[in-house]
Amino acid sequence: MAEHIMKACRRASVPLLGIETVDPASTVKACLDALNGKADSLPIVEWDICRGLRGMTKAGERSIGWYDPQTMGLPDILKNLAENPTKGMLAFFHNVHRFFDRDGVAQGLWLLRDSWKAVTGTAILLGPTLKLPLELVQDVVVTTEDLPDKEAMGAIADRVMENAVNSGVWPTVPDYGKERAVDTMLGLSAFSAEQAMSMSVTKTGVDHGSLWERKRRLVEQTDGLQVWRGDETFDSLGGLGNIKSHLTSLLTSGQNPVRCIGFIDEVEKSGVASGKGDLSGVSTDQLGVVLKCMQDDNIPGILLLGPPGTGKSAIAKASGGVAKAEVLSIDFGAMKGGIVGESEAKVRAAMATFKAVAQGKGLFIATCNAIGQLPPELRRRFTLGTFFVDLPSKEERALIWNIWLKRYGMLTTVGGEAVEVWEMPDDEGWTGAEIKACVDTAFRCGYSLKKAAEYITPVIKSAPDTIKALQDMADGKFISASEAGFYTKPKKPADAGFRKIVA
C-alpha cells in the first residue's frame, strides 16, 4: 500500500502525505523501495523527537547543513525546510500527530505545501492515527497502511525459514507448514510476525502452538482486543436451534467461510452505540470507525437481543469453534485514553488488526439487552439478522440441565438413560446461566438441586418488568433464536416440578 501511494504522490508532486501505520519502519522501507533504486541519490531526511533531524542519505545530510540540534525544535526545522527547499527531497516525520497542537507545528507544515510542491519534495507524516488540525485538513493527503496480507506474510515466513536454514537452526527446507504459520500470523505487523515466527522455529520445524501463543499475546497488546481461548461449540448449548442452524450454515459456508469473529458484548453499553453525553467526541469517532470498517470491507454482522443470562455471549464464543476461526473480543471502553488522539489511534489499531486477521472474511456478533439505545445506522450494519434470545422453554431447560449435570459429573448414563433421578427445582423462567449456577452450587456444597436452588435469584424474579418489556417489544419484530420465523412471546407458563433428566 505505502509503495503504491508513494509512487502516485511522487508522480503528482504531492508535498504533504500522511500515512497511518502501526509499523513505521516497514512503511519507511516500503516508501524507499518505491523509488526504484534511486533512494541513494536523493536528499532524504528523517525526524523524531529523540534523534532530531538527520540525513538518511549523503545528499540528505548535505541538504540540512543549517540544522543545529541544540537550538532548533520542530517548528524551526519546518521553517528552515520551507525556506530552503531542496529539489526532490523526502522527509519522514515520526509520530508527528503528538505535536500538531504545539505552537508553530501546524503553521510550519503548511509552509511546506507551496515551496515543496515547486521542487517536487514530499514530507511524509507517520503515526498510528493522524487527526489533522483544521489548518491542514485540506492540504495533507492521508492514507492508511494495512497490516500484511496473506501474500506478504508468506514472504516473511519464507524469509524466516531461509534464515533458520542458513544459520543451522533448521537443517532442511521441506514443507514447514507454511499455510498454517501464515494464518496464525495474520493480524500482526511485519516486524512482530517476523520476531514471533523466528522465536518459534526449532530443529524439527515450526512450533505452531508456540507461534499461536506469541501471536495471541501480541494481539492482546492492542488495547480493547482479547483473543477468546475457549473450545466451546454449539453442542455445549441447550436449545436455540434456529440461531445455531443459521450460524452453522453461515460459518461453514464453502462460498465465504468466516476467518475471524469480532465479538462485541453488550454493545449498547460499549460507548460505540451512542455519543450522548460524550463531549470529547471519542464515542462518535469510534462509531464512525466501526461503521466504515463494516461498510468498506463488507463485513456483516448478527445482533443477539435478549435478557441477560440467556446464552447470547455463549453463542458468539461457540461460533469460533464451529467456524474454526479466531474470536476477538472487542472492548471499546478499553480503547479510550486521556491523551489527545490516543483514543482515535487505539480504535483504528484494533479495527486494523481485526481486518488483517479476517482477510475479508470477518463477521461481527454483538449482544444487546436494550436495542432501543442503538443508533439506526449501527443497527442497519447487522445485515445477517437480529435474533431475540428469550428465556429458555421447558424443553430447552431440560437440555441445559442435562448439559451441566454431565459437565459436572453429576449425571451417569447407561445406554442413553439417566441412572440417577433428580428432583428438580421449580425452574420456570430460569436462564441457562442460572441453571449452571444451581448445578455449580450443588456440586461445590454437596446439596441437592432443590437445596441449591434456594440460593439462586432468577432474573425473572428480580426484574420481571424488564423481561416482560423485552418480550413485548420483540414480539413479531425480530427473528426467534429458538424456532424458525419471527419471535412470539409465550402465552402461558410451562409446567415445573419433579421430572427425570434423560441423556
Give the residue carrying C-alpha cell 473480543.
329
Answer for the pair 496, 404: CB distance below 8 angstroms, yes or no: no
d(CA 472, CA 488): 9
| pLDDT at position 438 over 70 | yes
CATH number for position 50: 3.40.50.300
What per-residue confidence (pLDDT) applies to 412? 63
Q: At a CB cut-off of 8 Å and minimum separation 6, what does 313 contact? A: 263, 265, 367
**Phi/psi of residue 443, each to 5°?**
-65, -45
Answer for the pair 107, 99: CB distance below 8 angstroms, yes or no: no
Q: Which of 21-30, 199-208, 439-448, 486-495 shows the lowest mean pLDDT across its residues?
A: 486-495
d(CA 431, CA 311): 8
Residues 335-381: tens digit of each pLDDT: 987 765 788 888 988 999 999 999 989 999 999 999 988 999 999 99
Whether residue 286 is contained in a domain is answered as yes
* Banded pLDDT at 171 (limits 50, 70, 90): confident
* Banded pLDDT at 29 (limits 50, 70, 90): very high
Note whether 299 and 371 are same-domain residues: yes
Note whether 458 and 350 are same-domain residues: no
Torsion angle, alpha carbons of 438, 443, 448, 449, to 10: 20
Answer for the pair 287, 375: CB distance below 8 angstroms, yes or no: yes
Q: Mean per-residue pLDDT for 17-38?
A: 92
- Which of the listed residues 129, 144, 159 is the one where a domain comes to its end? 144
| pLDDT at position 485 over 70 | yes
What per-residue confidence (pLDDT) applies to 10? 87
Note whether 214 and 232 are same-domain residues: no
What per-residue confidence (pLDDT) applies to 2? 74
Answer for the pair 326, 320: CB distance below 8 angstroms, yes or no: yes
Other C-beta atoms lying within 10 Å of the C-beta of residue 101: 11
| pLDDT at position 304 over 50 | yes
What per-residue confidence (pLDDT) applies to 502? 46
d(CA 289, CA 330): 13
- Which of the listed residues 219, 238, 265 is the one where a domain comes to its end? 219
What per-residue confidence (pLDDT) applies to 492? 61
Q: At a CB cut-off of 8 Å and minimum separation 6, what does 29 contact? A: none
Cell (9 digits) for 324: 474454526
Helices and strands of the chain, counted as H and E runs: 19, 17
- Closest C-alpha to 66, from 49, 81, 47: 81
The three state secondary structure string of 87-121 is CCCEEEEECHHHHCCCCCHHHHHHHHHHHHHHCCC
Whether residue 359 is contained in a domain is answered as yes
- Which of the listed residues 184, 219, 254 is the one where a domain comes to its end? 219
Strands 201-202 and 205-206: antiparallel
| pLDDT at position 500 over 80 | no
d(CA 156, CA 48): 27
* Banded pLDDT at 253 (limits 50, 70, 90): confident
Whether residue 435 is contained in a domain is answered as yes
pLDDT above 70: percentage of residues in the chain: 93
Query: What does DSSP assign to residue 194?
Result: H
Note whether 201 and 328 are same-domain residues: no
Highest mean pLDDT among 82-86, 131-135, 203-207, 251-255: 82-86
What per-residue confidence (pLDDT) applies to 363? 96
pLDDT above 90: percentage of residues in the chain: 72
Domain span at residue 90? 2-144
Whether residue 354 is contained in a domain is answered as yes
d(CA 193, CA 188): 6
Q: Which residues pair with 206 in a beta bridge?
A: 201
Residues 86-115: tens digit of each pLDDT: 999 999 999 999 999 999 999 999 999 999
Question: Mean pLDDT over all residues of the chain?
Answer: 89
Whether residue 13 is contained in a domain is answered as yes
What per-residue confidence (pLDDT) applies to 278? 64
Q: Mean per-residue pLDDT for 381-398?
A: 95
What per-residue confidence (pLDDT) applies to 343? 85
Q: At what angle do helices 178-185 and 150-166 cross, to 10 degrees?
A: 120
Note whether 354 and 432 are same-domain residues: no
The three state secondary structure string of 204-269 is CEECHHHHHHHHHHHHCCCCCEEECCCCCCHHHCCCCHHHHHHHHHHHCCCCCCCCEEEEECCHHH
What per-residue confidence (pLDDT) applies to 276? 54
Cell (9 digits) for 64: 540540512
d(CA 135, CA 111): 11
Note whether 346 and 399 are same-domain residues: no
Note whether 33 and 111 are same-domain residues: yes
Whether residue 487 is contained in a domain is answered as no
Q: Mean per-residue pLDDT for 379-394?
A: 95
Note whether 119 and 72 are same-domain residues: yes
> Between residues 304 and 348, which one has the greater pLDDT?
304
Cell (9 digits) for 157: 515466513
| pLDDT at position 415 over 80 | no
Note whether 186 and 130 are same-domain residues: no
Note whether 266 and 370 are same-domain residues: yes
What per-residue confidence (pLDDT) applies to 267? 93
The CA–CA distances, whole Å, from 167 to 127, 164, 172 equal: 35, 5, 11
What per-residue confidence (pLDDT) applies to 499? 47
Note whether 232 and 381 are same-domain residues: yes
**Phi/psi of residue 245, each to 5°?**
-65, -45
| pLDDT at position 501 over 60 | no
Report the domain count for the chain: 4
Cell (9 digits) for 111: 509552509
Whether residue 422 is contained in a domain is answered as yes
Whether residue 497 is contained in a domain is answered as no
Note whether 358 and 234 are same-domain residues: yes
Answer for the pair 33, 3: CB distance below 8 angstroms, yes or no: yes
* pTM across the whole model: 0.83
